[in-house]
Structure 1
Amino acid sequence: MEVYDSSFWSEFLRGMLKPAAATAVVAMAVALSFVQRLGLEWEMVYSIARTFLQLSVIGFVLEFIFTQKNAGWIVLAYLFMVLVAGYTAGQRSKHVPRGKYIAGVSILAGTSLTMLLLVVLNVFPFTPRYIIPVSGMMVGNAMTVTGVTMKKLREDLKIQKNLVETALALGATPRQAIFHQVKRSLIIALSPVLDNAKTVGLISLPGAMTGLIMGGASPLKAIQLQIVVMNMVIGASTVSCVMSTYLCWPSFFTKAYQLEYKVFNED
C-alpha cells in the first residue's frame, strides 16, 4: 500500500470540512431531543461520531482494495459485510434460536445468488469498484428485511399459538400450520422495499443515482444504474427473507412437531 504524502493529507483534511460543517443539522436534532426530553442526545452524538470514524476508516480500506488486482479482497470484504449484517439482524430477532446464524446464512444466500446472476449476465464486471458498493447495498437491505421477518414471525406465532396448535391437531404439518404467519411476516418485511421501488424518482432520488448526478454523470446514465440497483435489492431481499423463514421454523417446534413454548416465553 502506497505511503500517503503531505499533499494527500492536506487535500483529505480540506475535504472533511464540509462533512464537519454538516454536523450543524445534528446539533439541531440534539437540541430538539433535549427540548422534548427524549434522552437521545448522547446517542445522537455517539452515532455521528461513529459515522465519521467508520466511514473514514472504510474510505482508506476501499482505497487500498481498489488498487489490488486480487479477487480475494473482494470476497473478503463481502464476507465481512455479511458477517456484520448477520450479527445485526440476529440482534433484532435475538429471541429466535440461532438467530444470528440464520440471518447470516440467509443474507449470504440471497446476496450471493443475486450477485452471481448480475456477474453472469455481465451487468457488472467482477472488480472491487463495482462489486463492493453493489454488495453493500444488497447486504444492507437484506439485513433489514431479514431481521424484521424473523422478529415478526416469532411475534405472530406467540400471539396465535392457539391457531397453530389447532392446525397441528387437525393433521397439518408445521410448515402448513404457520403458513399464514410466514406469509404475513414476509409481506410486512418486504412492503417497504416494494413501496420504495414504486416511488423511486417521484419522492426521492436514491443514493446511487444522487451520487452519480452530483459527481457529474448524465441523469440518463444515473437512472440506468438505479434501475439495476432496485432490481437487485428486491431480488436479494426476497431470497434472504424466504430463506430465513425456512431456517427459522424448525426452531419453533419440538422434534415431536409441537410448539416449543420456551422460545415464546422469553422477552
Structure 2
Amino acid sequence: MNPAVPTWAGVGASLVLVAVAVAVAWRQQLHLAREIAVAALRAGIQLAAVGAVLLLVLRHTGLAGAAGWLVVMVLIAGRVAGRRAAGLPRALPVATAAIAAGTAATLGVLLALGVVSAQARVVIPVGGMVVSGAMQATALVLTRLREEVRTARPAIEARLALGLSSADAFAPHLRTTVRTALIPVVDATRTVGLISLPGAMTGLILAGVDPLTAIRYQIVVMYMLLAAAALAALIAARLAERALFDDAHRLRPADADG
C-alpha cells in the first residue's frame, strides 16, 4: 500500500475537517451548516460511485468505454454551461457544441501526437480536465454575452440601423466577452507554480513520481487547458452570435427560449 495515499480510515478521519467547517458555520449563524454537511455527504457518495463505475470501465471496456464516458461528461458539462446562460437563444446546444468541439480538438491533437497515451486510464482523467476547462470558458462566454445583449441592445441596434451587418455590429461585444472569459485561464497559466502547485503535479508527486517528471506532465496539462478554453470560448461566442440574430440581421430577445 502506498503510504502517500490515505486509507478509508483516513478518509473517515478527514470528516473532522468537515465537522470544523460545520461548527464554524453554526457558531457564526451563517445558516450554512446543513448545506455544508449535505455537500460533504454528496461529494463522498458521488465520488465513491464514480470510482466504482470507473473501475468497471477501466477493467472491462477499454477505449470504447472511455469514449462513452467522455461523451457523458460533455453532455453534462453542456447542460451546466447552458443553464448558466438561461435566456440566451439556443444556450444548451450552443454550449454543448462548443465544449464538444474544444474537447475533441484538444484531446485529438494530444492523442495524434502521442503526447498522452491512448489508454482508458489516461484518456478519462485527461479528458475530464479538458472538458472541465472548456465548460468553464463556455459558461463565462455565454453568461457574459447574455448580459451584453441586455445592456448594450440600444448600441447594437443603432449599428444595425446604420447598415452594419450583425457580425460587425456585434464584434466589439464578442471580442470583449471572449477576452474576459479567457482571463482566468490565462492568469492561471501565467502564475502556475508561483502561487500554488497544480492538482495534476501534486497528485503525481504524492504518488511518488519524480518532481521533474510531474512538472512535464503539468506543463502539458496547462497548455491543453489553455487551448481547450480558447477554442471553446471562441466557438461558443460564434455560435451564440448566430443564434442571437435572425436571417434578416435582427437581434433576437435575450430571454428567448433556447
Counterparts of 2:176 and 2:19 in 1: how far apart (Å)? Answer: 39
| 2:74 and 2:96 in contact (8 A); partners too | yes
Counterparts of 1:112 and 1:196 in 2: how far apart (Å)? Answer: 22
| 1:157 and 1:178 in contact (8 A); partners too | no
Which of 166, 178, 191 pairs up with 1:186?
A: 178
What do residues 14-66 of structure 1 show as CA deviations (whole Å, max 9, x unaligned)?
82222222232223333333344433222222221111011111111222222
2:96 corresponds to which letter in structure 1? G
Counterparts of 2:26 and 2:159 in 1: how far apart (Å)? Answer: 51
Which of 160, 177, 188 pairs up with 2:152?
A: 160
| 1:197 and 1:230 in contact (8 A); partners too | yes
Counterpart mapping for 1:45-124 below 5 A: 45-68=37-60, 70-124=62-116
TM-score by length of 2: 0.92
Indicate yes or no: 2:132 matched with 1:147: no
- Work out the percentage of aligned pairs sharing the same amino acid: 36
What do residues 149-173 of structure 1 show as CA deviations (whole Å, max 9, x unaligned)?
1010110121111111111112211
| 2:98 and 2:138 in contact (8 A); partners too | yes
What do residues 56-91 of structure 1 show as CA deviations (whole Å, max 9, x unaligned)?
111112222222364211110110111111111111
| 2:98 and 2:236 in contact (8 A); partners too | yes
| 2:89 and 2:256 in contact (8 A); partners too | no
| Structure 1 unaligned regions, length at least 5 | 1-13
Give the corresponding residue for 2:207: 215
Counterparts of 1:241 and 1:106 in 2: how far apart (Å)? Answer: 7
Give the corresponding residue for 2:188: 196
1:169 corresponds to which letter in structure 2? A
Which deviates further from its counterpart, 213-222 or 30-39?
30-39
Residues 83 and 210 from structure 1, CA distance in 2 versus in 1: closer, same or farther, beyond 3 angstroms?
A: same
Which of 167, 178, 197 pairs up with 1:205?
A: 197
Q: CA deviation at 1:128?
A: 0.6
Residues 160 and 128 from structure 1, CA distance in 2 versus in 1: closer, same or farther, beyond 3 angstroms?
A: same
What do residues 174-230 of structure 1 show as CA deviations (whole Å, max 9, x unaligned)?
121111111111122111111111111111111110000011111000000000000
Counterpart mapping for 1:220-239 below 5 A: 220-239=212-231
Q: CA deviation at 1:265?
A: 8.1
Number of aligned pairs?
252
Counterparts of 1:126 and 1:31 in 2: how far apart (Å)? Answer: 46
Counterparts of 1:169 and 1:102 in 2: how far apart (Å)? Answer: 27
Give the corresponding residue for 1:4: none
Give the corresponding residue for 2:123: 131
Residues 157 and 213 from structure 1, CA distance in 2 versus in 1: closer, same or farther, beyond 3 angstroms?
A: same
Counterparts of 1:238 and 1:220 in 2: how far apart (Å)? Answer: 27
| 1:74 and 1:128 in contact (8 A); partners too | yes
| 1:90 and 1:99 in contact (8 A); partners too | yes
1:105 corresponds to which letter in structure 2? A
1:42 corresponds to which letter in structure 2? R
| Structure 2 unaligned regions, length at least 5 | 1-5
Which deviates further from its counterpart, 177-186 or 196-205?
177-186
Q: CA deviation at 1:250?
A: 2.6
| 1:66 and 1:129 in contact (8 A); partners too | yes
Counterparts of 2:15 and 2:164 in 1: how far apart (Å)? Answer: 56
Counterparts of 1:71 and 1:238 in 2: how far apart (Å)? Answer: 26
| 2:182 and 2:229 in contact (8 A); partners too | yes
Counterparts of 1:190 and 1:210 in 2: how far apart (Å)? Answer: 24
| 2:85 and 2:142 in contact (8 A); partners too | yes
Counterparts of 1:44 and 1:103 in 2: how far apart (Å)? Answer: 29
| 2:89 and 2:255 in contact (8 A); partners too | no
Counterparts of 2:28 and 2:151 in 1: how far apart (Å)? Answer: 34
Q: CA deviation at 1:130?
A: 0.8
2:171 corresponds to which letter in structure 1? F
